[in-house]
Amino acid sequence: MVADSVVYHPTLTKLVKFWDVTPQREKSFRLLAYLSRFLGYYAYKKGYSKETIEMFANLKSHFTFIRKGMRFFKPIPHLQTAAKAYDNKLMDPILQLTTIIRNLGYAGYLTIDGFLFFKLLGVVDKKKWPNASKYASRFWLLGLVAGIINSLRIIYSLNSYKQTDENEKTGLSLADVKKKLYAAKRKLIWDLLDAFIALNSLDYLHFTEGDVGLAGVITSIFGLEDQWAAQKI
């Protein structure tokens, strides 16, 4: 039956499992929040009605609020990753240090983000600590800068392996090196775009809401792509 072919289709089964996990849902809401941000600016520039512009602004706020609740415990995995990197004495020193700083930065950012969630809920007085979001962005930017240095280090290291088809020391084939190099360059672009968002939130840059929204859409798609590839049926 046609209905059976749709219900039991592998892609649909994978999609159901994909959205049955909190991290995937959180990333999906991130995409929707930044898309709303971009569309709100687009509607403003094209002269759409005030109601339409307010609709996108409200959607962005609602999606952002939902995301904060979904990632309340996310600082813990980052602290665990930082601790494991610290204990790994065989790791490249630069990669080790940047991995530790990146994850501590993300943990700080997400911890303050959890506090902001309580402010939105009304548990904490909204007038208290008005600069909390700025401190969150600073921690996020710290983690991103460490991630950028980490990616540059990986790219520099892998470039030295491109001269031969097989590196005797690591056992990596040229195809493996190219794959890892592509992943490092992609992560570099990802972190640069997120750093662009953080710099605008801190008022170091002054680009439009549309530019920031578009950057967020791109990095959200990157995150969803990785999670989709890792999802097993």
Sort 151 into a burial class: Cβ within 10 Å, 0-12 / 13-18 / 19+.
buried
pLDDT digits (tens, 9 = 90+) for 126-165: 778 889 999 999 999 999 999 999 999 999 998 877 555 4
123 pLDDT above the threshold of 60: yes
Sort 226 into a burial class: Cβ within 10 Å, 0-12 / 13-18 / 19+.
middle
pLDDT digits (tens, 9 = 90+) for 184-219: 999 999 999 999 999 999 999 999 999 999 999 999
168 pLDDT above the threshold of 60: no
Give the whole-angstrom CA distance, residue 29 versus residue 20. 14
Q: Give pLDDT, residue 40.
A: 97
21 pLDDT above the threshold of 90: no
pLDDT digits (tens, 9 = 90+) for 34-72: 999 999 999 999 999 999 999 999 999 999 999 998 998
3 pLDDT above the threshold of 70: no
Do residues 70 and 22 make contact, with C-beta atoms less than 8 angstroms apart? yes
* Widest Cα–Cα separation across the chain: 64
Q: Give pLDDT, residue 124.
A: 80
Q: Give pLDDT, residue 212.
A: 98
Give the whole-angstrom CA distance, residue 217 versus residue 26. 13
